[in-house]
Amino acid sequence: MSAAARMIIDSTDDLARRISDFGDASPKYDQLFEGYARLALQPGSAVLIFASNGVEFLFHWIAVLANGYVPCAIAPSTKTSLVSALQKSLNIAAIIGPQLDPVRYQAKHVARIGAFNAAVCDRTPPSYEPFDVLILTTGTSGSQTACVHTVESLVCNASMTNKALSITSADKQLVVLPMYHSYGLITQSIGAIISGCELKIDGPPFNANRFADVIRKNRISICGITPTIARDLLKRGTVLPALRSLSIGGDRVSPEEVMSLLSKSFINELYITYGLTEAGPRVSVLPAHIAPVETYDSVGMAFSAISTRIEMPDADGVGHLFVKTPSVCRRRVGGNILRQPFTSDGYLETGDLFTKDAAGYLRYVGRKADILIVKGEKLNTRSIDLIAQLHPDVEFARTTADDMNSLITRLWARDDKMLDLEEIKRLLRSSLRLHEVPDTIIQERNAVFHK
């Protein structure tokens, strides 16, 4: 067992004293550990965990890891059809959740671990190593894919982030972002474990008034949010209690929004970050409160241990961002993965278009083909198209976003048939995450068919 894994596992006694949520008392960690041991899965077996944010989820995650299994967190609202697809795509051995119906997953063995039901689905040889961690991608690689990280890579990235944001044991951190995503799980939760700070877990869903109330009553000093939440706070004119540090990541923040946030007296330090799941996730940070105004349109500079380069820049310096980081994932896995995004010299292809100035400031320009950010979530339009093309009457599908950032899927039929668009939308809803389902589906005539 690595030092990083041992540190996470051995933190549970201390963590129980400095972590809390708004639910009922959680079961003892030792009981959870023993419950997973009784499942008798092979080392390296992947365990899918359904759970809302909470202390119990985090202790389940650690208990899975401590048994030599591979935890994989997923949204509690995920549809059965997508879970079944992930089960095959990622070679999931067991599925765990508070309201899990084992019958849906053809469970071979059922158990109760804490307040969660456990369904053992498959005992085939595992695809992973003990103390690996699966982090589902947020859409840039498709709906049924994940990154295989090691505990070491996650601890490394959380440590780099803590250093960049000056997070210490004196802080009180609030988590409102989903802990099944890399930001909430790694940057905030694992970051809190290794920094020694107090951790308060809330949400989602996000509510501005509750957010302010929780910060006030719990004397929160640091919190991380998405640009979508930041815009909501600005739009509402929400006044928060004083925060030592507010960090924002997950999508582009405009210079005007940075200036508006800095004008708020309750924000002492403002950090704009950039990252991606494959990188562990954080790559760069802009400490906006001390940065020159002309850099407000950037995501700052890469962490000191991370190297970056712009591949094939055009006349304006825009090119594909490659990063080399000690927190990179081991590989990507899943049904839609055709190749690994790594170069022979150890760089990760991000799929993002950037510029990089002489001082090292990185400026986001856009996504490469097929990858969009819609409603604050990354998605792969090719993944949507492939699902639509599963319908026997669909010859070809193409998904794009319009000027209002709404998804539109255009369909071309086999033999120029009339398509049942409602039937196709049901197919998409059954297989995709909510933010991936197109707002509009249009049948195009084959006379305008082109790929």
Evaluate whether 178 touches 225 at the Cβ level (below 8 Å).
no
Same domain (yes/no): 213, 354: yes
Evaluate whether 367 touches 374 at the Cβ level (below 8 Å).
no
Which of residues 347, 367, 387 is at a domain's end?
367
The structure's pTM equals 0.84
In a domain, 139, yes or no: no
In a domain, 406, yes or no: yes
Helix, strand, coil percentages in the chain from 3-state DSSP, rounded to 5: 30, 30, 40
162 three-class SS: helix
User: Of 189-193, 394-398, 414-418, where does the model show the most confidence?
Assistant: 189-193
- Looking at every residue in the chain, the average pLDDT score rounds to 91
Taking the CA atoms of 408, 413, 419 and 423 in sequence, report the sign of the dihedral they define. Answer: negative
Same domain (yes/no): 339, 270: yes
- The pLDDT tens digits for 179-227 are 999 999 999 999 999 999 999 999 888 899 999 999 999 999 999 999 9
Which domain CATH number covers 177? 3.40.50.12780
pLDDT, position 379:
81
Which domain CATH number covers 382? 3.30.300.30
In a domain, 138, yes or no: no
Same domain (yes/no): 442, 415: yes
Which of residues 367, 394, 412 is at a domain's end?
367
Tokens of 295: 């850099």
For residue 232, pLDDT beyond 50: yes
pLDDT, position 448:
42
- The pLDDT tens digits for 298-347 are 999 999 999 999 999 989 998 999 999 999 999 999 976 778 999 999 99
Same domain (yes/no): 87, 36: yes
In a domain, 144, yes or no: no
Evaluate whether 276 touches 335 at the Cβ level (below 8 Å).
no
Same domain (yes/no): 360, 405: no
Same domain (yes/no): 401, 435: yes
- The pLDDT tens digits for 72-100 are 999 998 888 889 889 999 999 999 998 88
Which of residues 66, 97, 130 is at a domain's end?
130
In a domain, 167, yes or no: yes
Domain hosting 216: range is 151-367
The position carrying tokens 């030592």 is 244
What's the rounded Cα separation, in Å, for the pair 226 and 188?
Answer: 13
Same domain (yes/no): 257, 352: yes
Tokens of 304: 């000191």
pLDDT, position 410:
92
Q: Mean pLDDT, to the nearest integer, of 244-250?
A: 94
- Residue 396: phi and psi, rounded to 5, are -155, 145
For residue 446, pLDDT beyond 60: no
In a domain, 143, yes or no: no
Same domain (yes/no): 201, 347: yes
In terms of residues, how long is the chain?
Answer: 451
What's the rounded Cα separation, in Å, for the pair 325 and 284?
Answer: 11
Same domain (yes/no): 125, 171: no
Q: Mean pLDDT, to the nearest integer, of 47-64?
A: 95
Same domain (yes/no): 380, 237: no
pLDDT, position 25:
76
For residue 53, pLDDT beyond 60: yes
- The pLDDT tens digits for 332-387 are 999 767 789 999 999 999 989 899 999 999 999 877 766 788 877 878 787 898 89
Which domain CATH number covers 28? 3.40.50.980
Same domain (yes/no): 340, 375: no
In a domain, 141, yes or no: no
For residue 447, pLDDT beyond 50: no
**pLDDT over 70, % of the chain:** 97
Number of independent structural domains in the chain: 3
In a domain, 137, yes or no: no
**Quick one: which of 72, 75, 77 has its CA closest to 121?**
72
What's the rounded Cα separation, in Å, for the pair 410 and 425?
Answer: 12
What's the rounded Cα separation, in Å, for the pair 280 and 350?
Answer: 12
Same domain (yes/no): 123, 228: no
For residue 110, pLDDT beyond 90: yes
pLDDT, position 55:
94
